[in-house]
Structure 1
């Protein structure tokens, strides 16, 4: 539908307007606290029971945030009032919709919603495209004075500013992820080469055992950092897949102990039965255990380190125990 009450709702620049909206990747996105807060503030400032922020593409009105609309997420572009509100850069005001020439017989006016008062300020991009609205709704007729209109327009500008900030953040995250992906891939090859070279030198008994140990330590540390970066990238993209296999837990613990011996003189004490077959992602479990041990070495350098295993119903509990300072629960994020 291109008309509401005989009024054309498709502006001449609609294709460019929709393209401007798509730049922000916001139409149809999940609810976000910042936008919810603007709607709550609007309800408080104007003493209305209903407020919403909408973004309109070619066919759909997406409700980004709302108060009093029972979680409504979208409707057809021509179904609501906002299709008219995006046609002009000023506040659209309907004091009593039951007497409005266009909306008097609208289902939202004659039905259970019983809209009477409607006011919408356009959300305008820096380059002048109206991509959405900030709306106020009441079931009783009312007016807005000039100051209130200006305040509503100001809140709509806040919506646009928040949309810009959101878009900047998305772009920064994408740039960060791209950097991490490139850096982690580029660093793996030289690290593998360094690791192999250190192993060959160690086998030749060159007399530089201390230097070789330092190389091993540095390579191990860098490898851990690269793997952590890559895992963080996967987590941010929700692509952190698990490769579940069956393996011997004791062999995994021994492997971690051998890795630690390459980079530290710290001796590990293994307690409890660990000769179990377990089903998990062996590589990731080994990484987690190694990182926990490295954390103990770093923050409890004078403490002994105990790796304790305990068989419980349905799973195996592995504890890495030291005498370092406890990390308070209040510091968790």
Structure 2
């Protein structure tokens, strides 16, 4: 709980920078929901929210993010309806019509888990190994965004500089992903080599953007320091 204190976003859902970030994450995974959460003593607050009600806060016992912070690797529930998480209240997931969850713990520089980056779908789904690596890489970006808050560098100038650096690459990747999605619909069924090539290209494009965001974020922070 003490590790959460330095983060200025604590208790303030709907941070613009985090909302923009998870909006991109949701599009990279082609999922309707992506979240950045902080897990507190009694509840979970979503400081980055794409696809769920704004300023959402849930009881800790109701959120799978409280389970994700217990794991070093990914926490994945392929089919929440058929195989719900036994450590949290399953009624909340049912009420929200959730079918899939994948989350990666977010850690402080000292290694303490304070929250998670997660993606969710309304239907059952499987996360490929490449998508799992992508989510882990994006979690590193989310950790840097948290660190940016903790060291009190998230001023208007820095955020504007980040947008200038990243707006172009983000839009280029999203355009390419949209094109790949259109081509994918014309491809044969999912179990063919051609369809797999489209899926691999989508993940490769997403990982390239993730690396770009991480690099530019570190560069912008270094200039301020």
Same fold flag (TM > 0.5):
yes
Measured after TM superposition, the shift of residue 37 of structure 1 is 1.5
SS at match of 1:123: strand
Alignment of 1:21 onto 2:4? yes
Q: Distance in 1 between matches of 2:25 and 2:48?
A: 12
Alpha-carbon RMSD across the aligned residues, in angstroms, is 2.2
Runs of 4+ in structure 1 deviating by more than 4 angstroms, as ranges, are none
- 2:133 corresponds to which of 150, 157, 161: 150
- 2:111 corresponds to which of 119, 128, 141: 128
Structure 1: runs of 5+ lacking an equivalent: 1-17, 173-333
Greater RCO between the two (CA within 8 Å, min separation 6)?
2
- 1:37 corresponds to which of 11, 16, 20: 20
Q: Deviations over 1:198-249 (max 9, x none)?
A: xxxxxxxxxxxxxxxxxxxxxxxxxxxxxxxxxxxxxxxxxxxxxxxxxxxx
Alignment of 1:166 onto 2:149? yes
Distance 1:152 1:164, change over 3 A: same
Q: Deviations over 1:90-114 (max 9, x none)?
A: 1100000112153597113333x21
- 1:140 corresponds to which of 104, 123, 127: 123
Give the corresponding residue for 2:33.
Answer: 50
Give the corresponding residue for 2:100.
Answer: 117
SS at match of 2:5: helix
Distance 1:171 1:71, change over 3 A: closer
Larger Rg computed on CA atoms: 1
Q: Deviations over 1:31-74 (max 9, x none)?
A: 32221121111111100001111101111101101111121421
Q: How does 1:1-333 map to 2 (within 5 A)?
A: 18-103=1-86, 106-111=90-95, 113-169=96-152
Q: Distance in 1 between matches of 2:106 and 2:30?
A: 21
Q: Distance in 2 between matches of 1:91 and 1:138?
A: 16
SS at match of 1:152: helix
Alignment check: 8 A CA contact 1:93 1:120 kept: yes
Give the corresponding residue for 1:291.
Answer: none
